[in-house]
Structure 1
Amino acid sequence: MKKILFLLLSNICFSQTEWKTTFEKGNGNQSVTYEDCIAYYQKLDAYFETIQMQEMGLTDSGKPLHLVIFSADKDFNFKSGKAKILINNGIHPGEPDGIDASMSLLRDLAMNKIKIPKNTQIIVIPVYNVGGMLNRSATSRANQNGPEEYGFRGNARNFDLNRDFIKSDTKNSRSFQQIFHWVQPDVFLDNHVSNGADYQYTFTCIATQHERLGSILGNYFINEMYPTLVKDMQKKKIDVVPYVNIHGAKPDLGYEQFTDTPRYATGYTTLFHTLGFVPETHMLKPYKDRVKVTYEFMVSAINYVDSHSNLIQSKRKEAEKEFQAGMDYPLAWAIDSSKVSSLNFKGYEGKFKPSEVSGKDRLYYDRNQPFTKPIPFYGNYKPTQFIKIPKAYIVPQAQWPIAELLKLNNLQFYQLEKDTIIEVESYKILEYQTAKTAYEGHYGHYNTKISKTSHKLKFLKGDYVFPTDQFGVKYLLETLEPEAVDSFFNWNYFDAILQQKEYFSAYVFEDMAKEILNQNPELKAEFERKKNQDKSFSDNGAAQLDWIYKHSVYYEKAHMHYPVYRILN
């Protein structure tokens, strides 16, 4: 009915030319504006019954996120049992290849110009970083070859949204999380443009770190799905190479797989057993070529998922069972240098010559000397630290910002119905380092170390219990374990516990300290040992007084005490 009304109101018979996108109408080096992008999708929605457009949550710019859905049978219910691909565009609007390619893709699907997926729904976020796309210029990406104008990397509050999937400082991120858990995609694509070295490839790709997916899903992803997509692209005469994660050096010396921790888009989606890809076209290639290969990768991914929809869905269900209470969970990773593969790399000779600016040697790539030769590629990670998965986490209701983020991410929970004494394992923060410069609005922590204590504690009616026997168990582990690289602790959510709130007056506590030692022979013996073993301590009266205070009943329990608890049994 909406199509008939649209035709009556517009009285237009749309030709093929009239369905061209801004990119297609231009000279191959022009990208659509935000306003024209949304208007184009609104027109698709109005004209084609297989297309539906929805507004989904606000962004920091004040404008909403949009979803555009293609469903061949016009069923837009995400509970239909079909496989689902979620495509994200414009997280960095200075990299607009996916924005323009997705407009053509949805149009071609609606007009039956490409193979129509029967078992898969295609869900597209036309522009994720709306504020960044509105901040349009021709100068913010000095090293990129087109388009003529584009958006800015930072969002309306100058956050890089591809670092915000755990800390969730932006409305964009929080709206995305609502979308993600509503859609529950099987496969996720986040379209980008690379920077760094020069080489022959137009298309590179980050296939998410497969080890983080677990053995069942990860092995399928890296050994079956990704190689098949690469071969399909090669049939189209498009070479695919792992994202060249090199800056200021020559890739012919070899390089490593990019590690997408949970702060990044595909690192986040991996926590929920979603298979993730980050297409990274090469910034120095012509814009029209970059849009083309982005389009073709999306088509290859859709065709693969549609042919393997049942298999992908069953693998994801199997993967849920891999992470159970009592099992070891890998909390930290490092490149496994013992597993090196040979990559037949197509590059350009990297050379050095005197800089015309500084006179010092500078790197340049000689495009008159292309090469194809094997180089080492390190594409495997190994776990370097494990934790035991608890049965549940207790988050006191006082820690409501944490509880709200867990709820936002669809984590299942219950609340205590009465004050209850529970045996738990608790952590004390022993060590941490803090960044000396700001990073995405935070002075984050790293190299965090903890100690563990098991004891019975009283919890209050209304405190939250998050069982680990649930779909989002990996999100719980990666955010609530303080030693995890992107934990809520490391993102400063618990900094209040790092500041001591009560102290002592030395002239009063001197006499109390003497009494404390006299009344506790074991503590006094430990104190004397420390003085004998540590000269700096024995020479520092204030340090000795502080040590006694921190080993007394007067020292506040909250200082350095991590206020999230683990139920082991």
Structure 2
Amino acid sequence: MNKFLLLVFFTCVLSAQKKNTYATPYEKGNGNQTATYEETIAFFRFLDKDFETIQMQEMGLTDSGEPLHMVIYNPDKKFDFNTIHKDKAVLLINNGIHPGEPDGIDATMMLYRDLATGKVTVPKNTVVVNIPVYNIGGALNRNSHSRANQNEPESYGFRGNARNYDLNRDFVKNDTRNARSFAQIFHTVNPDAFIDNHVSNGADYQYTLTYIATQHQKLGGELGAFFKTEMMPQILSALKAKGIEATPYVNVHDTKPDAAGFEQFMDYPRYSTGYASMFNVPGCMPETHMLKEYAARVKVTYEYMAESIKFIDANYNRIKLLRSENLENYKPGLRYTLQWEIDSTQVTPLPFLGYQGDYKTSEVTGKQRLFYDRKKPFNKMLPYYQTYQPLVQVAIPEAYIIPKSWWNIIELLKLNNIKMEPLAKDTEIEVESYRIKDFKTAKSAYEGHYPHNTVTLGTTTRKVLFKKGDLMVTTTQPGVKYLLEALEPQGNDSFFAWNFFDAILQQKEYFSDYVFEDTAAKLLKENNSLKTEFEKKKQEDKTFADNADAQLDWIYRHSPYYEKTHMEYPVYRKVK
């Protein structure tokens, strides 16, 4: 072999070796295998070691006892976010929140390698941050059967974390160390856009990629409109140019999508993109289809992230400006929507690539069962509902005042970067005060709680003496939406809904009938207005008139003996 051919041969060998050096565990496998947690962390450590543009940082603990990591890619080799935010946007990517849905884990490893080696266009205006595996406990609980509806990969992690929490329900209540460490990362990074990679459940259709985009109305203002009409459409258009068709998450289970169409998923604050939305961060959950081959799912996840980076890089200034300006929509005195309902009168025709669904006799039950015929694909317009209307609204107060005794609430607010000031001395302040008049409670456990719903409030305005050290929390701060969602009792994911204030729902003192009989008689004799109101209620309510216990209880609740803290919500609203 002459010297030239020998040189060419060794050059090719070295090139192949270098390429193989940075191959991911997924790429080294058969296309149907996902990296383990240990392999994932080892790979990013390897990239950190070999590339100055990548830095891996160990952050807070998770329920598994292992720390979360965040991996930063910045072509400028700078990793201080105060500096980064002066002239760049930040994209935060979360992977493995449900480790049985590992597509993003493998796709992100390849994406970082390709960014570091220059295989893909290097962003000039965007820094990319990812959490390699968020649910570490679930990733370590590896199996091949927990995703009964999913084809491939060969083995994967489990949905519940080390304490069996679904982490995509924990972004407000923060029951897990995972969620608390995520909040630390989120507010350190302060992302301008967010991606949380998932795999779907539900109907069958032709798409490999669906997506849950943050509900634009909840994101709010021009930022929400930009996200709906420009950001998502342009990313999807770029994917389509690559031959990747996508559709909104098919929010249909146990029926056919074309039976009545479907509606946009409302990502409440408990979910990752709903959490991000509270801080004016547009977010998306790519949801690959569980029945498609794993290699195809990893590919479209990769491409979604790559096209998102391109869009953010080209529009970074506008995204950052719209995020900042969006705070103008949440000033004191303006209305904020706590609960939404779909507006069925607003219909968007949606082109949809599906499979014909039909019913046949089940071989198991002998009853009718749904099935999809992949030999009968269709392309037709379906009704899509993406407009919501307010169901419950509240006026934004100037501030909330929280007694220092509710340290658990204060701790969560601080965790989420909420600024507050302790009162310097005992101070009497006129505030709006809520009393819980009625509510319903779930009959079965949900994510470690029995949540409340359908909350009815009574509101009074009065002067309250607050103590030195009680916390004044103004709403003129970036976390205003988080404050409203967490502290207003009627919010779907409020602290009240998640049982943080259940202690106020229980009376601590009561009375013995035979003792209070004499006290009640004395109260009626000494208070004519109380007696008049009591007699009126007996006349108007026969059931009440026939119930001695109810009558004594009514007098007790209208007397000085009744504890005022019972059913009084201990967070107060300063409105002027």
TM-score bin (small chain): over 0.9
Distance 2:175 2:338 in 1: 23
Question: What are the within-5 Å matches in structure 2 for residues 400-479 of structure 1?
Answer: 400-479=407-486
1:258 to 265, 271, 295: 265
In structure 1, the partner of 2:221 is 215
Distance 2:464 2:431 in 1: 7
Q: Say yes or no: does 1:320 pair with 2:307.
A: no
Distance 1:89 1:244 in 2: 21
SS at match of 2:473: strand
In structure 2, the partner of 1:563 is 570
Query: What CA deviation, in whole Å up to 9, does each residue of 1:164-185 have, x standing for no partner?
Result: 0000000000000011001000
Distance 1:321 1:50 in 2: 36
Amino acid at match of 2:319: I
Distance 2:242 2:16 in 1: 34
1:277 to 279, 284, 294: 284
Per the TM alignment, residue 14 of structure 1 is displaced from its structure 2 partner at its CA by 5.4
In structure 2, the partner of 1:60 is 63
In structure 2, the partner of 1:37 is 40
In structure 2, the partner of 1:163 is 169
2:361 to 338, 344, 354: 354
Question: What are the within-5 Å matches in structure 2 for residues 127-276 of structure 1?
Answer: 127-253=133-259, 254-276=261-283
Identical positions, percent: 59
Question: What are the within-5 Å matches in structure 2 for residues 475-486 of structure 1?
Answer: 475-486=482-493
Per the TM alignment, residue 332 of structure 1 is displaced from its structure 2 partner at its CA by 1.2
TM-score, normalisation: structure 1: 0.97
In structure 1, the partner of 2:529 is 522
Amino acid at match of 1:237: G
Question: What are the within-5 Å matches in structure 2 for residues 281-360 of structure 1?
Answer: 281-360=288-367
Amino acid at match of 1:87: I
Per the TM alignment, residue 299 of structure 1 is displaced from its structure 2 partner at its CA by 0.2
Distance 1:106 1:215 in 2: 33
Per the TM alignment, residue 18 of structure 1 is displaced from its structure 2 partner at its CA by 2.0
- Give aligned pairs, total: 559
Question: What are the within-5 Å matches in structure 2 for residues 373-412 of structure 1?
Answer: 373-412=380-419
In structure 1, the partner of 2:20 is 17
1:124 to 112, 127, 130: 130
Distance 1:224 1:77 in 2: 30
Q: Say yes or no: does 1:27 pair with 2:30.
A: yes
Distance 1:342 1:25 in 2: 43
SS at match of 2:336: strand
1:509 to 511, 516, 519: 516
RMSD: 1.1
Deviates more, 1:544-553 or 1:72-81: 72-81
Q: Where do 4+ consecutive residues of structure 1 move more than 2 Å?
A: none
Distance 2:374 2:17 in 1: 45
Distance 2:109 2:174 in 1: 28
Deviates more, 1:219-228 or 1:83-92: 219-228
In structure 2, the partner of 1:77 is 80
Distance 1:196 1:385 in 2: 30
In structure 1, the partner of 2:97 is 91
SS at match of 2:569: strand
In structure 2, the partner of 1:115 is 121
Query: What CA deviation, in whole Å up to 9, does each residue of 1:383-410 have, x standing for no partner?
Result: 1221111100001000000000000000
Amino acid at match of 2:449: H
Distance 2:190 2:76 in 1: 19
SS at match of 1:456: strand
Amino acid at match of 2:463: K
Query: What CA deviation, in whole Å up to 9, does each residue of 1:292-345 have, x standing for no partner?
Result: 000000000000000000010011111011110111111110111121111111
Query: What CA deviation, in whole Å up to 9, does each residue of 1:323-371 have, x standing for no partner?
Result: 1011111111011112111111110111100111110000000111111
SS at match of 2:570: strand
Distance 1:309 1:434 in 2: 44
Distance 2:32 2:349 in 1: 36
1:490 to 497, 503, 520: 497
SS at match of 2:180: helix
Amino acid at match of 2:18: S
Amino acid at match of 2:318: L
Amino acid at match of 1:374: M
TM-score, normalisation: structure 2: 0.96
Per the TM alignment, residue 13 of structure 1 is displaced from its structure 2 partner at its CA by 10
SS at match of 1:137: coil
Distance 1:331 1:492 in 2: 17
Distance 1:362 1:521 in 2: 69
Per the TM alignment, residue 27 of structure 1 is displaced from its structure 2 partner at its CA by 1.1
Per the TM alignment, residue 515 of structure 1 is displaced from its structure 2 partner at its CA by 1.1
Distance 1:417 1:89 in 2: 44
